[in-house]
Amino acid sequence: MKTHKMLAAALLMTFTVACGSPDESFLASTSSSCQLAPNCKQDLPKLPKAKGFSTVYKKTISKLGNPHHRALDVMAVSGTDVRIHAKFTYGLFDNDLKEEPVDIYLSSNCTSALKKIATVKTSTDDQNQTVDNVKDSGGRIFSKLSELGIKNLPMGRHRIVFVVPADNSTTEMYVNVISPNSDVVLTDIDGTLTTSEMAAAVEIIGIQPPAHEGAAEMERQLQSLKLPRSII
């Protein structure tokens, strides 16, 4: 069976259902505050030449394997302070990149150019309190957007890109801002859409996890439904 990468589709579907008022079809919604940008892949501004890592340890782990940086997509209610969470590692053993500056770029509503909003250092072990049941194991960024000078993101989808200036490696996330009492579709990925509970883990070693038969079609069907107040 052909494999599918389901995460992006799941997130897109989830936000699509959230759009619109409770009494209208999510496909029929014409609210400008709920329009998904057709292209959320703005180019980064021209980056300076990579600075290189400052310690032998960081230089070593960066040469042991590819970067496996990642960040959690967020769905937030309008008017709330958005917390962003990213992790920075290298190689097969997911070696943490600790105490390293990371530049953060934002594209508001996926329509504006990516603009640098802050530089934040990755954490050391237990530097931050546990957030959403995630213990700070080092190499992480736990920040509220208000701490970075960004308050009250408008309704819609926003793209955040993280850049490690030492080697210009990147990762990104999306912030989906929705109205209170919006209906959403929520689905697990590992072991539900994919055939393995370890889908995220095997991706680190370059294996694309297979999806359950019909998973992609299910997502397409959910998007095609024209049901008011759809909660699935």
Residue 164 corresponds to which amino acid? V
For 223, the token pair is 């998007």
Q: How far apart are CA 94 and CA 97, in angstroms?
A: 9
Tell me the domains of the chain and their CATH numbers. 1-19+182-232 (no CATH), 36-178 (2.60.40.1930)
For 41, the token pair is 């892949």
- How high is the pLDDT of residue 222? 77
- Name the residue among 177, 173, 156, 145 with its Cα closest to residue 81: 145
For 33, the token pair is 């505050």
Contact 167/179 with Cβ under 8 angstroms? no
pLDDT (tens place) for every residue of the chain, 232 residues total: 333 333 333 334 334 333 443 343 333 333 333 444 446 888 999 999 999 999 999 999 999 999 999 999 999 999 999 999 999 999 989 999 999 999 999 999 998 999 999 999 999 999 988 888 889 999 999 999 999 999 989 999 999 999 999 999 999 999 999 999 887 777 777 777 888 777 666 666 677 778 888 888 887 887 776 543 333 3
- Name the residue among 111, 116, 114 with its Cα closest to residue 101: 116
